[in-house]
Amino acid sequence: MSEDRRLDVLRAIVEDYVATKEPVGSRALVERHSLGVSPATIRNDMAALEEGGYIAQPHTSAGRVPTDKGYRLFVDQLSTVKPLSSPERRAIGTFLETAQDLDDVVDRAVRLIAQLTQQVAVVQYPSLRRSALRHVELVPVGSRHLLVVLITDTGRVEQRTLELGTDLDESVVARLRTRLNVSAAGRRLSELPVALGELTDGFAPTDQVLVNAVVAVVEETLAQESEERVVLAGTANLARVGSSDVRSIGPVLEALEEQVVLLRLFSEMAEDHAAVAVRIGRETQHDGLVETSFVTTGYGDEGGGSVARIGSIGPLRMDYPGTMSAVRAVARYLTRILAQ
């Protein structure tokens, strides 16, 4: 029993099952793929694959369906990259290039992936921690409130309102603004706390209150993990006919609404060495997502490290090669555009 053919059989099963959405039997397999052997032989291979846990049958006397483990093997070893057509590439490029600002770019990118993969697309906003600070603006609001605005080099803007016990002194605010920008501009946000610590020097004791408050707000903002926003698109694709079980979309929608879940997955997948990371079924470690797979890749840094992630969520029986290349292509364009 040839080991190679057994893997061919697994690949054929995955491909056929993805295409037909129905358990695939030995007869159909030899007909659709030129395997050069008889159904009976395939049945033997199937028995072995089932023994190994790569495929399973929904019930006795039904065809076979890949298991999580089967998909995993397929993704790791059996699938071949499926390049996008050049019109597709062009469309991605022009669609993203005509965007106005950061929000717009991100929004278009996520819609694009939803469109290309016909699945749910997810994008993580450029993280504050990893991007660099471009400018800090202090805006007095009334006499006792100060609006603190942080602008990063990815064009992201964060704001906080600060309530003060005493009236504002405009000149102090101006000095603080200048010094903040001198010591902060261009630095990675993760390095900032150190720079901020030395900032209080040179201010009169009475002004220290203000300075400390502002510094505290800046640090607090940076520390807030919750600011890692996630944006979705294409949730309607979950309800498309032929999607797994129509009733199973409830738990999925719930999972998607919990940003925490998605952020955890994003950050775990950032550890993967692979260019495109994949989580299949139970690998997602979340009950609502056991019948889905998640394909992500990083974007935002031409150096190779990445600022944030973007990806696509679909049924276990998704078109892995197609999804992976779509996600990757969009991420590349996105990175290029953000670099400007």
Would you tell me which residues interact with its own copies (CB under 8 A)? 100-102, 134-135, 137, 139, 141, 147, 149, 151, 155, 157, 159-161, 233-236, 238-241, 246-247, 249-251, 253-254, 256-257
Structure-token pair, residue 69:
């483990």
In angstroms, the CA 152 to CA 134 distance is 5
Between 64 and 156, name the residue whose CB sits nearer to DNA.
Answer: 64
> DSSP letter at 278?
E
Beta strands 145-152 and 120-124 are: unpaired
Establish if 43 lies at the interface with DNA (CB under 7 A). yes
In angstroms, the CA 288 to CA 253 distance is 8
Binding partner selected for residue 100 from DNA, its own copies, none, CB under the kind-specific 5 to 8 Å limit: its own copies
The angle subtended at Cα 331 by Cα 191 and Cα 295, nearest 5°, is 100
Shortest reach from residue 300's CB to its own copies, in Å: 17
Q: Which of 220, 216, 222 is nearest to 199 (CA)?
A: 216
Q: Per CB under 7 A, which of residues 53..72 are in contact with DNA? A: 57, 59-64
Point out which span in 41-49, 184-192, 308-316, 329-337 binds DNA (CB under 7 A): 41-49
Point out which span in 33-41, 68-76, 160-168, 320-328 binds DNA (CB under 7 A): 33-41
Q: How many CB atoms lie within 10 A of CB 20?
A: 13
In angstroms, the CA 30 to CA 271 distance is 40
Structure-token pair, residue 277:
């990371």
Between 198 and 257, name the residue whose CB sits nearer to its own copies.
Answer: 257
Establish if 117 lies at the interface with DNA (CB under 7 A). no
Binding partner selected for residue 38 from its own copies, DNA, none, CB under the kind-specific 5 to 8 Å limit: DNA
Shortest reach from residue 161's CB to its own copies, in Å: 7
For residues 64 and 50, is the Cβ–Cβ distance under 8 A? yes
Point out which span in 38-46, 160-168, 209-217, 228-236 binds DNA (CB under 7 A): 38-46
| Beta strands across the sheet bearing 276-280 | 230-233, 120-124, 308-315, 292-299, 276-280
Binding partner selected for residue 236 from DNA, its own copies, none, CB under the kind-specific 5 to 8 Å limit: its own copies
Binding partner selected for residue 28 from its own copies, DNA, none, CB under the kind-specific 5 to 8 Å limit: DNA
Q: Which of 335, 319, 339 is nearest to 84 (CA)?
A: 319
Residues that bind DNA in the complex, under the rule CB under 7 A: 1-2, 5, 23-28, 36-41, 43-44, 46-47, 50, 57, 59-64
